[in-house]
Structure formats: C-alpha cells, structure tokens
Amino acid sequence: SGRTMPVATTNLRALTSWVGIARLSAVVLSCLAFSLVASTGRFGGPYGTWCMFTWCFCFTVTLLVLLLELLELYPLLPLSWDDFTAAFSMLAALMVFTSSVVYPATFISSPCSSSPCARQAVATTASCLCFLAYAVEVSLTRAKPGDISSFLSTVPGLLKVFEAYVACLIFSLLDAYSREPGLMWCVAVYSICFIFTLLIIIFTIGRCLTYIPCPLEKMLVGYNFLALLMYLTATILWPLYSFRGQSRPDSCGPDCSWNKHLGVTFLTIFNLIAYLVDLVYSTRMVFFRAP
C-alpha cells in the first residue's frame, strides 16, 4: 500500500529555549528538594506533607510538559496548551514559594549543626531556586501588551490563578467561624469568588468560554467589580468579628486560632488588592484598547 507510517518528531527547542531551560532547572531543583527532605524523614504533619506534595507535584507535571513539548504531542490534547502552561507555571511558583517559607519555619531549628539539618537547609535553598525558575518561566511566557490570544498568560489571567490560590490558603486557615453571622458572610465571599474564579480558569483551559452567549470580556469586568466589593466587605468584617474582645494568647503556636485569624486577615487583604489590580487591567483591556 502507499500509506506511510507517521514519523516521530522531536522539538529540541523545548529543551534549549530559555523557557525550556527554566523548566529543566525547575525539574532538577524540585527533585533535589524532595529527595533531600525524604532522606531526612522529617516531613511529618500537614505542613511537611504539603511541602513534599508541592515538590513532587511540580516535578511530575513540569517533566510531563517537557516531554509533551519535546515529542510535539501536546496538540493532540483537547485543551488550550498555552493557557494550561501559563496557569501551571504561575500555580507552581506560588506553591513552591509557600513551601520555601513554610518548610524551614516549621522543621529547621537553630543552631543547625547536624547532617539532617544541613540537608534540610540545602533542600530549602533548592526550593527557593526552584521558585525563581518558575518565576522566570512566568515572566518569559507572559503575554505582551495587547496580545490576548492566551488569556491566562495575560496579567488578569495570572491574577486569576493567584486569587484562586490565595482563597485555598484562606480555606486551610478557617477555624471556628460559625458562631458569628459576619464571619459566615466572609466565608461565603471566599467560597463564591473561588468557585467563579476556578470556573473561569477551567473553562479557559478547556476552550469552553466561546460557548458562553454573552460578551465575555465585559462579563469578566463586571465579575471583577462584584468580587472586589465582596472582598472589601470581608476585609472589614473578618478582623472586626474575629478579634472583637480578644487579645493574642501568651502561648500561641502555629495551630492557635488567633494566629489563623490573623493569617486570614492578611490573605483577604492580598486578594482584595489582587482583584483591584485585576479590575484595572481588565477594564483597560476591554474599554481602552489601542487602535
């Protein structure tokens, strides 16, 4: 027959470009981080488990991204590849940054003189460098001004990933909020905004936004405005009801409710600022486009 077998092709630029080098660096550094921590055996509890999951998850997905781009198999996937890689690199940068702060604060004690502690210190250094590698990837793949072909690589798209991640951190710190209607409203704000933001990310990666029968860009501006107002109320109500009539206990460790409420307060402010910047950029992209 005249049929020819498909020839497997490789795209070496997936490894030799600046983005490829950043991804290779992230693979090596994340592998080094979880290998060293695993060798010490000191990663018990929720914080250690989270850090190990972060390094293993980022190593696995980044290696998979490299292989798919090297073998040029990613066009076969039913998703927007540029949106997926932009969202993942932003998520990985945030996750690794969190682990780079949480792990040494939880597991490394002073003075650090033993061999296991030295390995923990090297693992922390590798994790910090891994964060820089992902930050470089985010910078290299970020859309240029005026380019909206890949929404999640634009500033509003990257902010969507940031907003969803910060909401997840808030959920991990929520503790004893059912006694006050004001706190319950704040939890509703975090939940509603998280769900809508996550749906926007998923629909963008899955190329489903084109099926929405309304002006999508203007709808996103309206959503950002409503989310900003909701987070503004949460920024006021959460500390008002959480710390009313309470002072910080003398012995207040990482699991202390007072510290968790303080963490939620700061994370709420971070998301408020993120939604404000998101609204400004989205408004400029929709209503003030250059001709």
Question: Can you give the pLDDT at residue 1?
Answer: 44
Q: Name the amino acid, one letter, at 119.
A: R
Supply the pLDDT for residue 218. 83
Band of the pLDDT at 277, cuts 50, 70, 90? very high
Q: What are the domain boundaries of the chain?
A: 7-147, 154-290
pLDDT 10s digits, 14-61: 888 999 999 999 999 999 999 999 998 888 888 899 999 999 999 999
What per-residue confidence (pLDDT) applies to 195?
A: 96
Does residue 7 have a pLDDT over 60? no
Closest CA to 193 of 217, 225, 154, 216: 225
* 147 — pLDDT class (breaks 50, 70, 90): low
- pLDDT on residue 63: 97
Tell me the CB-side half-sphere exposure of residue 203, using CA atoms within 13 A: 14
Burial classification of residue 278, based on how many CB atoms lie within 10 Å of its CB (0-12 exposed, 13-18 middle, 19 or more buried): buried
Q: What is the mean pLDDT of the chain?
A: 88
Question: What does the CA dihedral 259, 264, 267, 272 come to, rounded to 10 degrees?
Answer: -140
Q: Would you state the pLDDT for residue 20?
A: 94
**pLDDT surpasses 90 at 113:** no
- The more confident residue out of 111 and 3 is 111
User: CA–CA separation, 97 vs 128, rounded Å?
Assistant: 7
* Residue 13 confidence (pLDDT): 84
pLDDT tens profile 252-263:
766 778 888 889
Report the pLDDT value the prediction gives residue 145, as an integer from 0 to 100: 62
Q: What is the pLDDT of residue 289?
A: 58
Extract the tokens encoding 7.
Answer: 């020839």
* Span 155-168, pLDDT tens digits: 999 999 999 999 99
Q: Identify the residue with better confidence: 109 or 287.
A: 109
Concatenated DSSP letters for the chain?
----PPPP---THHHHSHHHHHHHHHHHHHHHHHHHHHHHT---HHHHHHHHHHHHHHHHHHHHHHHHHHTT-GGGSSS-HHHHHHHHHHHHHHHHHHHHHHHHHHH--SS--SHHHHHHHHHHHHHHHHHHHHHHHHHHHSPPTT--SSGGGSHHHHHHHHHHHHHHHHHHH--S-TT-HHHHHHHHHHHHHHHHHHHHHHHHHTT-GGGSSS-HHHHHHHHHHHHHHHHHHHHHHHHHHHSTT----SS--TT-HHHHHHHHHHHHHHHHHHHHHHHHHHHHHHHS---
pLDDT single digits (tens) 182-239: 899 999 999 999 999 999 999 999 888 777 777 777 888 999 999 999 999 999 999 9
Q: Is residue 114's pLDDT more than 70?
A: yes
| pLDDT value of position 291 | 46
What is the mean pLDDT of the segment spanning 54-72? 95
- Tell me the C-alpha to C-alpha distance, in Å, between residue 261 and each of 59, 164, 177, 273: 32, 19, 10, 19
